[in-house]
Copies of this chain bind each other. A is one copy, B any other.
């Protein structure tokens, strides 16, 4: 019987965005098994109410708990913003999330103590990044910008398109006007826009990638709790989704940065 440490990490998201988090975990923790769950039949969560997001999230948590994961990673800013407390209360195992991890890295990175946050409307309206950052340092100034169009632009694959550039400029203008020196990419889709956003924001602004942040935190947490796998064989990855739409494989592999195998469709 495998030890607790040999169990997989459970990662979940409303859709495929969490694959950027999975990718960061694979790169940081190459021997850890991962079970991914994406609620692709009901994506996106960013336009849904809090009660609905909570309900859907706990359904995913129960699914992953049945797969005996040792730790949960909320790889979705919307879920982390509005349902993290419910998930933590329900899970009974360590739970990490992209907002907590991104907030910590932003506070560490800033010199001017002015942080910008780009995210979906629900994440911005939840005020979760501002709360996360202020819990660490109440003196920080936080400027948030809702960017509802960036997710569809990324999924369209227009990563360097003039429309994406114009849209990103529009969203960045008010944030940069506040003189931030640190910009949190508060949505798991945005790492694919990092080159464009870095160019538009300029060299004086540090970009904080929540996916990379939570992978670093996962490595620390597993070490602290003595839960890091002793395995040194090739890790196993499984992907469960509630729907496999057209172009899923293509878009998923763009997010994951590698081929997407062992994909299974399930109903919640």
Chain A residues with CB under 8 Å of chain B are 40-43, 47-49, 52, 121-122, 125, 148-149, 151-153, 155-156, 158, 162-163, 166-167, 170, 242-247
Q: Are the CB atoms of A47 and B52 closer together than 8 Å?
A: no
Q: Are the CB atoms of A166 and B162 closer together than 8 Å?
A: yes
CB-defined contacts of A149 to chain B, threshold 8 Å: 149, 152-153, 156, 158, 163
20 A-B pairs whose Cβ atoms sit less than 8 Å apart in the complex: A40-B47, A40-B48, A43-B47, A48-B243, A48-B245, A49-B243, A49-B245, A49-B246, A52-B242, A52-B243, A121-B246, A122-B245, A148-B155, A149-B152, A149-B153, A149-B156, A149-B158, A162-B166, A163-B163, A166-B166
A47-B43, A47-B245, A243-B52 given; A163·B167 CB < 8 A: yes
CB-defined contacts of A121 to chain B, threshold 8 Å: 246-247
Give the CA-CA distance A149 to B151 in the complex, in Å: 10
Across the A-B interface, give the 7 residue pairs with the lowest CB-CB distance, nearest first: A152-B152, A47-B245, A52-B243, A42-B42, A48-B243, A163-B167, A48-B245
Give the CA-CA distance A163 to B171 in the complex, in Å: 12
